[in-house]
Structure 1
């Protein structure tokens, strides 16, 4: 029997079949979250180096932005040594909603 959520370094990530379009669209509707996704479209980034368009955004706000993206299934947030590695879940999103990321990022 397949597990419904896949824990990754103590942070839960939805399985591919649990990613919901309305949650993804909500996550992508915020300009700061969308900027994070645009940065991740180029490849994985260490969380400390990922900067929303406004560098004055508080660390707690930045953490919340990434939490919304992670819980919606847009990004993966994994432990990396003493930090965290952020990755865009392009394969999962393209499988669930073909063309969505290209349309949003294009």
Structure 2
């Protein structure tokens, strides 16, 4: 993996965030990552091919929702909760609450773990 670009907080655009959150799989990934834990890509389970999961993770990263870190051959992803709160106060919490209410993204989980709440 080449060095990933992560937008600075002031470069995170509302339209980019909203576009990234327009897919149920990506909302599910955000729900899983909302617990604040950094996850290895191999821990994430979604009903899509690995290449498609990689695409979804890249969309989230490019929009500024996540930060990706590479360690050897493994990649890890973390939700940029504080950065999003600083840029768009309350937005992430509203999205997570609505996703839970409407059960959006429930098909995404963590290996050997429960589906997000």
Partner of 1:94: 85
More relative contact order in 1 or in 2 (CA 8 Å, sep 6+)? 2
**Counterpart Cα distance in 2 of 1:81 and 1:49:** 16
Aligned residues: 95
Q: TM-score, normalised by structure 2?
A: 0.77
Alpha-carbon distance, 1:45 to partner: 0.7
Which portions of structure 1, spanning 4 or more consecutive aligned residues, are displaced by more than 3 angstroms?
Answer: none
Structure 1 gap segments, 5+ residues each:
1-8
Unaligned runs of 5+ in 2: 98-117
Instruction: State the TM-score, normalized to the length of structure 1.
Output: 0.85
Matches of 1:69 and 1:51, distance apart in 2: 16
| Alpha-carbon distance, 1:50 to partner | 1.3
Calculate the aligned-residue CA RMSD, in Å: 1.1
**Which structure is higher in strand share?**
1
1:1-106 equivalences in 2 (<5 Å) = 10-42=3-35, 43-52=37-46, 54=47, 57-106=48-97
Tell me how far 1:15 sits from its aligned partner: 0.7
